Each structure stands twice: as structure tokens, then as C-alpha cells.
Amino acid sequence: MNLIPVIMSGGSGSRLWPQSRSLYPKQFLPLVNDQTMLQNTVSRLDGVDFVSSPMVIANEEHRFLVAEQFRQMNRKASAIILEPVGRNTAPAVALASLKAQASQPTTHNDPILLILAADHVIKDVNAFHQAIEAALPAASEGKLVTFGIVPTHPETGYGYIKAGDKLIEKREERVAGKNVELTTHNSPLTTTYTVEQFVEKPDLETAQGYLASGDYYWNSGMFLFKASRYLEELEKFRPDILEACQKAMKVQNADLDFVRLDEMAFKACPDESIDYAVMEKTADAVVIPLDAGWSDVGSWSSLADISEKDDAGNSTLGDVLLQDTRNTYVRSEKKLIATVGVEDLVITESDDAILVAHKDRVQDVKKIVDRLKAKNRTEVKLHRKVYRPWGAYDSIDMGDRFQVKRITVKPGAQLSLQMHHHRAEHWIVVKGTALVTNGEQEILLTENQSTYIPIGTVHRLENPGKFDLEMIEVQSGGYLGEDDIVRLDDTYGRS
């Protein structure tokens, strides 16, 4: 089967602040186990017969996060397509469809795409695989399959799909020397239904009616269809989106592991979801029920719902001490969190922020993020520890005219050749070996050795060793912002 997985990884996850930040959103975080959400999505594809490794559609700002998380798994994406701006799921799937068709041999240039989000939880992987197998015949015949989640409660935070008639699978077999058409009767959870209607997020009373009827499923945002069929339907209903994506893909450029688009062409593309652009309009939409412990982890309360709980209904992670506490989710990353006499709360701590919210109000976390944006606060974009393609830095102290960072450089990696107009730097090696360009000098430093870099001096840091290089950097000067970096040369193609 000519099947290709496509992982959409462009979300910001603002309702999971403070853990999720715009430059390090939830799909790159280990929220439910030791793997990140993206890595879990890749891992659960094991056991399905694909013709290539996953294709990823990502925000350009997240390109190195995607590549690094694949590297940690000793895997490589077949393509990482970089969106210069977010334009929702209809254009993203169009880009994947065009790329998949162009990348396949001429004899297999109409692949079937399995469209997945990077930030979903699916606990029953076998049921997920069975649903994919059950959906393949319909997709092969030109249907656009969506996976409808069997609802467990009257959820008001999801859109719904109303199922219509059963789509009977037919096949021909030789019986007594003749071709005879037979029908296949599948179990209820592998039966394919026509889609009667997509409906918006309901109020509680309406959601209760949907649950009682048994005809409605949660809209998962996962799909299976031929690349050609999606592009045909997109051309029929939203030719403007298809035209913009075709123009953007015409001048695509390969950059390391990434596929860059024509920025101006893609910026001109309308912002539209695949549901509105195609699935709600096509006559060929069908739905496969999926009962596999699914969650989109769209808020702290949904993460609490899928987490293990104690006898009092509490879920905890990290260094947590509870006293007379009920139905509360507590997540600690650095500090001890102690609670006394509280219930129905979400309490989560990151390296530079703490959130306390009632479980009934977690959807309003986005309002906090909006206020942080309005004040141009860095906490909306970055954590204190910032990841770079060469490693990471952690701002451990800051004051008037000084900043102290802990810098980690991966083996064989190097920072850009750069200079600063407003700050000097003092580098002290804590662990490993550093190769330093300091003006006209090239210096090899080992543990407990240091060097001083005056304002305006061209410099570079490199790790020539086989283990991580760890350093302390002390900055001093009148302005210490990250935009005071003039890059003269960069291995990773940054401007």
C-alpha cells in the first residue's frame, strides 16, 4: 500500500501555558510520558506499513526542534516543510499532498496520506492501527476518510460529526468459475459511515443529546485519503488555496533537512481549516469510528483527565506534597509544591512562571497569554532555558548591566561567527573542551579555563569533543538583548 504519514506540527498550544510557549509549544514537550507529544505520534506509527518515514508540516521557527526530536529517536523525517506563516490545516494538507505526489516514483505518484496532529494522545495503539486498516479500502476508492472519536461524555469543547448510512464494503471473488460480488460486514468500530453533517462545538444540553443518540462522534482532525482526491476537492471548493500552495511549492528550496516555500506566495494563501474548505462540502466524506483512548490535550483539565489519579482524584508530577487536597492537578518541574485544603485546581510550575487555575476556568489561560503578548513579555515566547540547533542556554541570573547564562554545546556543534555592539562576554569552561575564536586568536580551553571577549570583537564557540561542552557566560554592558547579535557566518542558515 502506497501510504505516507503526514504530521501537522504548527500549533502554539497557548492553553497549556506556562509549559507551552509560542517558540516551544506543547507538541515538543513530554506531557504524558518520557517522550514528547511529537515523538509519541511518530512512535505509534510503528507496525503500520508505510512507504516512507513521516512528512512533517511545521512552523519555520520550530524547524530545529522538529529535526532534533527526530534525531533523538535515531530517525529522520522524509521531509520537513516549513510554513513561513501559519495558514491553518487546509493549506498545510495541500502542501503535503503536492510534496507527496512530487516525491514518489512515477508508478506510485498518487499516495494515500494519513493526516495526523503532532499533539494528540492515543492510548490504545492497536485500535488505532485497526482503524487505519479499516479506512484504507474507502480511501483507495476515492473517499475522504475522517476518524470520529467515540464520545465518552457530553464534551462541549469539540466539534462533532454526525454519521449517516453504513458504507458497505464490496469485493469480488471467484465462485464456481464466476466473479461474484460479496459484501463484508465489519464490527461496529470498523464500519465506515457516510458523513451526514459536521457540527460546531455544542452547548451542554446539545452535547448530551448527541451522546444519547449514538449517531455523533468527536471530530478528531485526523484523515486518510489519496493526495489526488484531496487536491481535486480543494480545486473544486477552494481553488484560491490550491493556487497559492502550488505557487509556494514551485520555488521550494532545500535547506539542510528542510523544505522552504516561496514566502510571499504562501503569505497570500487564505487561512482556512480542512473542515471548512473541503470536508464539510465534499460528497465523498466518510467517517470511521475510533475508540482508542484519544485526547487532543487541549487544556490542563484534559491533561488531568488522562493522568493517573490517587484515591482523592489528584494527579501529580514532580516534587509535590498534598494535604487535604482533592481533584487537583499539580505539576512541578523545579520546586517543591505543597497544597493544603484545596480542590478542583490546576497548579503548574515552570522555570520562570507559576499558574494556579480552577479546573472550570482553564480555557481562560489563553486570556493570560493574550495579556502577556500585549505587554511584550518574554514568558509568552520562551522559557528561561532556550534551545538552539547547537544546544541550549539557561539564563540563571540577570541584573542591572549584567546577565549570567549556562551554555551547553552539543558535540561537533558550533555557534555562529558573531559580534555584539553593546556587550562584552566572559566565558568560563565548566565541563568539556571549547574551541574559541576570539578576534584574530583561536584558543582551546578546558575545564576551569576562561577567556574575555570585548565589545565589538568577532568571536565563535565550538565543541570539538565527543561530549557536551558546558560553560558559564557572564555578559556585561548597557544592552543585553538577544537582538544584539550580528551574525557573520552560521552553519544553520540563520540570518
Residue at 352 is within a domain: yes
pLDDT reported for residue 477 = 96
Pair 174, 271 in one domain: yes
pTM: 0.88
Q: Kindly tell me if the per-residue pLDDT of 176 is higher than 60.
A: no
Say whether both 8 and 81 belong to one domain: yes
Domain count, the chain: 3
Note whether 287 and 322 are same-domain residues.
Answer: no
Residue 218 to residue 295: CA distance in whole angstroms? 10
Residue 431 grid coordinates: 565541563
DSSP-derived letter for residue 54 is P
Query: In sequence order, what are the residues at sequence separation of 6 or more whose Cβ sits closer than 8 angstroms to the Cβ of residue 440?
Result: none
Place of cell 558535540: 411
Q: At what angle do helices 89-103 and 239-250 cross, to 10 degrees?
A: 50
Query: What range defines the domain where residue 313 resides?
Result: 303-368
pLDDT band at 256 (very low <50, low <70, confident <90, very high): low
Residues written for the chain: 495
Does the structure show a pLDDT above 70 at 237? yes
Looking at residues 272-293, what average pLDDT do you find? 96
270 and 121 in one domain? yes
3-class DSSP state for residue 437? Answer: strand
Q: Which three cell numbers stand for residue 386?
A: 532556550
Residue 375 lies in a domain: no
pLDDT of residue 254: 66
Please measure the distance between the N-terminal and C-terminal CA atoms of the chain and give it in whole angstroms: 42
**Same domain assignment for residues 199 and 286:** yes
Same domain, 339 and 462: no
pLDDT of residue 255: 67
379 within a domain of the structure (yes/no): no
The answer to the question of residue 432 being in a domain is: yes
Looking at residue 185, its pLDDT comes to 45
| Separation between Cα atoms, residue 275 and residue 200, nearest integer Å | 11
- My answer on whether 356 and 231 are in the same domain is no
Report if residue 342 sits inside a domain.
yes
Q: For a pLDDT cut of 70, what percent of the chain falls above it?
A: 93
291 and 308 in a single domain? The answer is no
